[in-house]
Amino acid sequence: ETAVFQTPNYHVTQVGNEVSFNCKQTLGHDTMYWYKQDSKKLLKIMFSYNNKQLIVNETVPRRFSPQSSDKAHLNLRIKSVEPEDSAVYLCASSPGTGVYEQYFGPGTRLTVL
């Protein structure tokens, strides 16, 4: 049963455009994450957000920014996409209270032309 929802499933855009991806979790978890999975299936954490505290992976370009309205939502905005941003973006959540078992959404596949 899906408990981490992501929209859209796919997005195709051109270099320089701005995109925004949505993520919502209905598990009541305290912590949410964004991951990037590249064409070689390598997974890298981009952000984690817990109780209004944002942790950023220092390798993430500044054009990426997470946006949260409450603990159930963590959106991802990319200000000006580049070709290397083409990937699958996965949102996840975890209880965050000493237990970080993660639950993932279905992902958003971004293609930058």
Partner 1 sequence: GQQVQQSPASLVLQEGENAELQCNFSSTATQLQWFYQRPGGSLVSLLYNPSGTKHTGRLTSTTVTKERRSSLHISSSQITDSGTYFCAMERDTGYQNFYFGKGTSLTVIP
Cα 89 vs. chain centroid, distance in angstroms?
5
> Per rule CB under 8 A, is residue 27 in the interface with partner 1?
no
Give the shortest CB-16-to-partner 1 separation in angstroms: 28
The reply to whether 42 sits near partner 1 by the rule CB under 8 A is: yes
Q: Checking DSSP bridges between strand 64-67 and strand 87-94, what pairing results, if any?
A: unpaired
Q: What are phi and psi of 75, to 5 degrees?
A: -95, 160
Task: Report in angstroms how near the CB of residue 20 gets to partner 1 at its nearest.
Answer: 20
Closer CB to partner 1, 20 or 57, in the complex: 57
Pairwise CA distance, residues 98 & 93, whole Å: 13
Q: Is position 76 an interface residue for partner 1 (rule: CB under 8 A)?
A: no
Contact by Cβ (8 Å): 3, 103:
yes
For tokens 């993430």, the residue is: 60
- Applying CB under 8 A, among 41, 51, 52, 59 the residue interacting with partner 1 is 41
The SS3 call for residue 34 is strand
Residues 45-74 that bind partner 1 (CB under 8 A): 45, 48, 50, 55-57
Residues making contact with partner 1 (CB under 8 A): 31, 33, 40-45, 48, 50, 55-57, 90, 92, 94, 96, 98-107
